[in-house]
Structure 1
Amino acid sequence: MAATISSKNKIALSAVCLSAIMLGLEITSIPSILPTLENMLPAEFRQLQWIMNAYTLAMCSCLVAMGALADRFGRKRIFLAGITVFGIASLICGMASSASVLIGARFLQGASAAAMLSCQVAVLSHQFRDGPERGVAFGWWGIMFGLGLGFGPIIGGVILALLSWHWVFLIHVVIAVVTVFAARMGVVESGDPHVVKIDLGGIITLPIAVFGFVYLITQGHEISLVSGTGQEIIAISIASLLLFIIIELKSQRPIFDFKAFRIRNFSVALLGASGMNFSFWPFVIYFPLYLQSVLGYSSVVAGLIVLAYTLPTIVVPPYAERLLQNRGPGFIIPVGLFTIAIGFAVLHVTISSGYASWLTLLPGCLIAGVGLGLTNTPVTNTSTGSLPPERAGMASGMEFSARMISLAVNIAVMGFVLLSGVSAELVHSVNVDSLASVANTIAAGNFNAELLDGVNVAIAHHAFVNGISWVTLYGTLAPAILGLLARLISQKKSSKHVATS
C-alpha cells in the first residue's frame, strides 16, 4: 500500500514525520532534565514550572491563528517558517545561561511549534487525498508522533547522561535543518483560495482569551481568583472570548468556524481530541513520580515502564486507520476512548490494591496505550476530512487547540486531584497549620523526612498512593464520559459540509 505513494509525497511525509518527532520529543523529554536545570542554571521551583508551561501556553494560544495564517499565506510557507523558528528557538534554549532566557526561548518554541503542528495535518490532507494512501500517511504520522512522545523520557535521560542538558534542545537544531530541506523538496504549496483577507480580530482575541484562562488554571495556586490581579485576568479573558465569538459569527471566512460543529463527525473528532488529553497524556507527568518515589524504581526503569505505556501508540495507528475506513469515526473514536478508560480502571485497581509492581501495572499501561493508538490518528484524519480541503488549516487549528488546551488544563486538574487525594489521607495525621505544606511536599514525590514535619515516611507513601489512585479514577471517568457523548453524537444524522462562502 505504501508503494502507491509518489516520491514527492514520500519526501513530504518524511518532513511532516520529522517535525512530528521534534514536537513529541519536546513535550516529554524536558521533565527528565528539570532537576539538572534547577542546579545548573540555577532555577527556582516557580521558574521550573514556567520552563514547562511556557511551551504549552504559547502553543495553545497560537494554534488556531497559525492555521488561519497557513490558509491565507500558504501552508508550505508557514510550515517552513515554523520549522526554521523552532530550530532557532531550540538553539537559544540550548545556549541559555539563565532561567529567564530559557523561559523566553520556550515561548518562542511553543509559538513556532503551533505553526508546524497546524500545517502538518493540512499538508497531509492536501497531498494525500485517496483513502488508502491517506490512511498510510496519517498512520505513519501517528507512529512518528508517538515515537517522539513515547521515547522522549528515555532519550532525554540518555542525552543528559552521555552529553549534557543543552543537547536535549540542541538536537532539534540538527533535525530542523534536515526537515527544512525535505519540506522544500516535497511539500506542495496549498491554501484557501476563498480567504482574501486575514481575520485579524480573531487572531488577536482568541490567543488573549486562551492565554488568560490557561494561565489562571496553571498558576491558580499562586494567584487568588478573588484578588485584583485574578479578577483582571478573568475579566480580560472573558471579554476577549466574547469578542472572539462575535467576530467569528460575523466573519465570512472565520478562523474558528462554529458552523463546523453542525458536522457530527467533526464534533466527534474534537471530543476524541479532548478525551485523550483528559487522561492519557497528563498522566505521563505524574506516573514517573509514583514509579520512582513510591515503588523505588530508578529513572531508567521508570522510563521503560512509561515507554510500555506509550509503545502501543506507535504500533496501533495503522490498524486504527483501517478501522476508520471500514467502520467510520462514530465507531473507532468512542471505542478508543472507552479502551483508555478500561486501561485506567485496571491501573486504578492495581494501584489501590497495594500490590503494584512493573508486572502488575503492565496490563493497564498496555490497554490505555492501545486506546490512545485507536483514537489519535482517526481524530486528526476525521477532523480535516470532514471539512472541505481548502479549510484544512482551520480544521487542524481547531482540533489541535482542543488537544493542547485540554492537555494544559488537565495537567493542572490532575495535579489538583493528586494533591486532594494526598490531603484527604493526611487529614488525621497532620496538624491543620502544616497540612498544606506537607501535602505539597508529598505530591511532588519528595519524602525527605526533614520536610515532612514529623509525618512518618510510610504514612507519606500511603498518602501519595491514595492521591495517585484518585488520579487514575479521574482518568477512568473522563474518557468514558466523553466517549459516551461522542457515540451519542455520531448516531445523529450528519451534515455533509460546512458552507464555504
Structure 2
Amino acid sequence: MSSTPALTARQRWTGLAVLVLAVTVVALDATVLSLAIPSISETLHPSGTQLLWIGDSYSFVLAGLLVSMGALSDRIGRKKLLLIGATAFGAASLLAAYAPSAGWLILARALLGVAGATIMPSTLSLIRSLFPDDRERATAIGIWGAAATAGAALGPVVGGVLLGHFWWGSVFLLNIPVLLLLLVFGAWLLPESKDPKPGRWDVLSVVLSLAGVIGMVYAIKEGAAHGVARWDVPVTFLLGAAALTLFVRRQLRLETPLLDVRLFRDPRFTAAVTASLISLVGLSGVIFVVSQYLQLVRGYQPLQAGLAELPAFAGSVAGGLLTARIARRFGARKALTACLLAMGLATGTLGWLGQDTTYLLLAVAFLLVGTAEGVVYTLGADLVLTAAPADKAGAASAVSETAYELGTALGIALVGSVVGSIYAGGLAVPAGTDPAAAARAGESLGAAVETAHGLAPELAQPLLASARAAFVDGMNTTGLLAGALLVAAALLAWRLLRGLSGTTADGSAEVTAPAESKQVHA
C-alpha cells in the first residue's frame, strides 16, 4: 500500500466521520424504498415482477460490481474512486427521484448500484490507511459497522418521515446534501492510498463476475417465485454458475487477480463472508416484508411504520459499537455463532405473527435482529480485513461488502418471491370481480389494496380480507425458513472457526477479538 503521511488523532477520526457518511447513505438506499412500495404501486403501476426489481436492481448490480470496483480502487486510488462514486451517486439519485415509469426507476436504481459499488470498497480499505494501530482500528471498524447496519435499519424510518410530507421520490433527494458534504470534506480530509504494484485491471474478470452473480441470483429469485419448470430458470442458473466457475479459474491463473480466491482458504475469511451474507438475507427480508405488513395489513401510516421499525436501528448501532468488547470477552467464534442463532430465533418469530399480534413481540424481534446483525457484520468485516494482505485491502473489503449487498438483494428476492408465490396461491377473489381487476389483485398485496378501491363494498371487503390473510401466510412461512437458514449459518460458523477461541491482549494466542492481531494459529 502506498505510504500515507502521519495524521493527527483529530484528522483520523474526522476522516472516519466522512467515511461513515458514505457508508450510511449507500446502506440506507438499500432499504429506504421499503415503505414507499405502496406509494410507488399507486403512482407508477408496476407489475409484481417490476416491484421486486425496483427493490432488487440496486443491490444486485452493487453486489455484482463490488469486487471489481474494490480491485479498481487498489489500482487508481481509494480516495479518488470514492469521490468519483459520490458524484455519480448524486446524479443517479436525481434520475430516480423523477423517474416517470417503473422501467425508468429500475434503471435508475441499477445506476445507483454502479455508483454505490465505487463507494463501498473504498470506505473500509481507507480505514486501514487511517488507523494503523490495531486497537484504534478495531474501534473505527466498530463505528463503521454500526453505520453500515444502522443505515439499512434506518432506511424505513427516514422513508416514513419523508413520505409523511412529500412524494416517494423525496427519499432519493435526501442523498444530495449528504453527498455534497462527502465530496467537500472527503477531498479535504481523506488520505489517498493504493496498491503500489497493482497490475492490470482484468476486464474479462469484471464481466464474468457480474454475469455470474446476476445470472445465479436471477435464477434463484425467479425459481422461488414461479418454480424451476420455466426454461429461463435452469438456463440462467447454469450460465451464472459457468461464469462464476470461469471467473474463479481465471483468478487462479492471473498474476494479479481481481480477487485472490485463495483468501477463502483462511477459515476466518470464509466464516465471515458466509455469516455476513446469510445475516443480511434475514435482516433485509424482515424489513422488506414487515414494512408492507405494517402498512397494508395493520393500516399504519408510513411514519408510524418507520417508527415501529426503530428498534432494529437502535439495536444495530448498539451491536456495531459493542462488537470489539463482546469479541474480546467471548471470542470471535462464540460471538459470531451466538448472534447468528439470536437472529434465527428472532426472525423465526415472524412465523407466528397474525394480523392483530401485539406490537411488543415485533419490537423485541426487531431489537434482537438489529443488535445481532450489528455484531455479525462488524465482526465479519474485521475478520475479512485482518485475513487479507495490506496491499489488497480494497479487493478484500469488497468481498465483505459484496456479501452485505448480495445478502440484501437475496433477502428481498427470496423472501419477496416466496411471499408473492404463497400470496398468489392463497388469494380468493370474490365471484363477480372483473377478470382484469382479479389479475391485478393477484400480483401483490399493494395491487390488491389499490384494486379494492375501485370495487363495490360487497366485493372490496372480501378481497381485502383474503389478500391480507394470504400475505400473512406467506410472511409466516418465510419467517420460519429464514430462521432455519440463520441457524444453519450459526452451525457453519462454529465449525469453520474451530481453534479460534483463545486470545490474549497482544494476540499471541488465537485471534478472537476484532483487529487485535494479525496472526492466527489454527
The two structures share one fold, judged by TM-score above 0.5: yes
Quick one: which of 53, 61, 64 aligns to 1:61?
64
Question: Aligned-pair distance for 1:476?
Answer: 1.6
**1:356 maps onto 2:357 in alignment:** yes
| Structure 1 residues 340 and 445, CA gap change in structure 2 (3 angstroms) | farther
| Structure 1 residues 66 and 371, CA gap change in structure 2 (3 angstroms) | same
CA contact (8 A) 2:34 2:291 kept: no
Distance 1:50 1:476 in 2: 24
Question: Aligned-pair distance for 1:168?
Answer: 1.9
Distance 2:475 2:489 in 1: 22
Distance 1:170 1:17 in 2: 19
Quick one: which of 272, 285, 288 aligns to 1:285?
288
- Corresponding residue for 1:490? 497
Aligned amino acid, residue 192 of structure 1:
D
CA contact (8 A) 2:339 2:376 kept: yes
Question: Aligned-pair distance for 1:114?
Answer: 0.9
Quick one: which of 54, 71, 74 aligns to 1:71?
74
Say which is worse superposed, 449-458 or 33-42, in terms of deviation. Answer: 449-458
Q: Secondary structure at the match of 2:164?
A: helix
Aligned amino acid, residue 357 of structure 2:
A
**1:478 maps onto 2:485 in alignment:** yes
CA contact (8 A) 1:223 1:229 kept: no
**1:369 maps onto 2:376 in alignment:** no
- Corresponding residue for 1:90? 93
CA contact (8 A) 1:58 1:107 kept: yes
Distance 1:177 1:340 in 2: 36
Distance 1:345 1:164 in 2: 34
Quick one: which of 295, 299, 315 aligns to 1:296?
299
Question: Aligned-pair distance for 1:286?
Answer: 0.3
Deviations 1:68-90, CA, capped at 9 Å, x for gaps: 10111111111111111111211
- Corresponding residue for 1:195? 198
- Corresponding residue for 2:256? 253
Query: Aligned-pair RMSD on alpha carbons?
Result: 3.3
| Structure 1 residues 174 and 474, CA gap change in structure 2 (3 angstroms) | same
Instruction: Provide the identity percentage.
Output: 27
**1:464 maps onto 2:471 in alignment:** yes
- Corresponding residue for 1:174? 177
Distance 1:439 1:93 in 2: 26
Give the TM-score taking structure 1 as reference length.
0.87
CA contact (8 A) 1:346 1:364 kept: yes
- Corresponding residue for 1:404? 405
Distance 1:7 1:402 in 2: 32
Query: Number of residue pairs matched?
Result: 489
Distance 2:150 2:235 in 1: 41
- Corresponding residue for 1:151? 154
| Structure 1 residues 461 and 174, CA gap change in structure 2 (3 angstroms) | closer
| Structure 1 residues 291 and 137, CA gap change in structure 2 (3 angstroms) | same
Question: Aligned-pair distance for 1:362?
Answer: 2.1
**1:266 maps onto 2:269 in alignment:** yes
Distance 1:331 1:176 in 2: 38
Say which is worse superposed, 184-193 or 27-36, in terms of deviation. Answer: 27-36
Question: Aligned-pair distance for 1:299?
Answer: 2.7
Question: Aligned-pair distance for 1:38?
Answer: 4.1
- Corresponding residue for 2:208? 205
CA contact (8 A) 1:135 1:318 kept: no
CA contact (8 A) 1:5 1:133 kept: no
Deviations 1:427-480, CA, capped at 9 Å, x for gaps: 9x99xxx9x969945655845665989967555544433322212211221111
Question: Aligned-pair distance for 1:131?
Answer: 2.8
Distance 1:424 1:88 in 2: 41
Question: Aligned-pair distance for 1:17?
Answer: 0.8
Question: Aligned-pair distance for 1:338?
Answer: 1.2
CA contact (8 A) 1:51 1:106 kept: yes
Deviations 1:117-168, CA, capped at 9 Å, x for gaps: 1111111122223233112212222232344322322322322333443332
CA contact (8 A) 1:419 1:439 kept: no
CA contact (8 A) 2:48 2:443 kept: no
Question: Aligned-pair distance for 1:42?
Answer: 6.2
Q: Secondary structure at the match of 1:56?
A: helix
Distance 1:90 1:465 in 2: 33
| Structure 1 residues 205 and 98, CA gap change in structure 2 (3 angstroms) | same
Distance 2:77 2:176 in 1: 24
**1:109 maps onto 2:112 in alignment:** yes
Say which is worse superposed, 72-81 or 99-108, in terms of deviation. Answer: 99-108
Say which is worse superposed, 451-460 or 367-376, in terms of deviation. Answer: 451-460
Aligned amino acid, residue 272 of structure 2:
A
Unaligned runs of 5+ in 1: none
Question: Aligned-pair distance for 1:67?
Answer: 0.6
Distance 1:42 1:442 in 2: 11
Distance 2:139 2:40 in 1: 40
Aligned amino acid, residue 321 of structure 1:
A
Distance 1:125 1:202 in 2: 26
Question: Aligned-pair distance for 1:491?
Answer: 0.7
Distance 1:136 1:385 in 2: 14
Distance 1:191 1:62 in 2: 19
Say which is worse superposed, 371-380 or 61-70, in terms of deviation. Answer: 371-380
Give the TM-score taking structure 2 as reference length.
0.84
Aligned amino acid, residue 195 of structure 2:
D
Distance 2:346 2:316 in 1: 13
Q: Secondary structure at the match of 1:162?
A: coil
CA contact (8 A) 1:282 1:414 kept: yes
**1:14 maps onto 2:17 in alignment:** yes
Distance 1:420 1:159 in 2: 31
CA contact (8 A) 2:161 2:302 kept: no
| Structure 1 residues 283 and 144, CA gap change in structure 2 (3 angstroms) | same
| Structure 1 residues 439 and 414, CA gap change in structure 2 (3 angstroms) | farther
Write the mapping of 1:436-455 to structure 2, written as runs, cut at 5 A: 440=442, 446=448
CA contact (8 A) 2:78 2:194 kept: yes
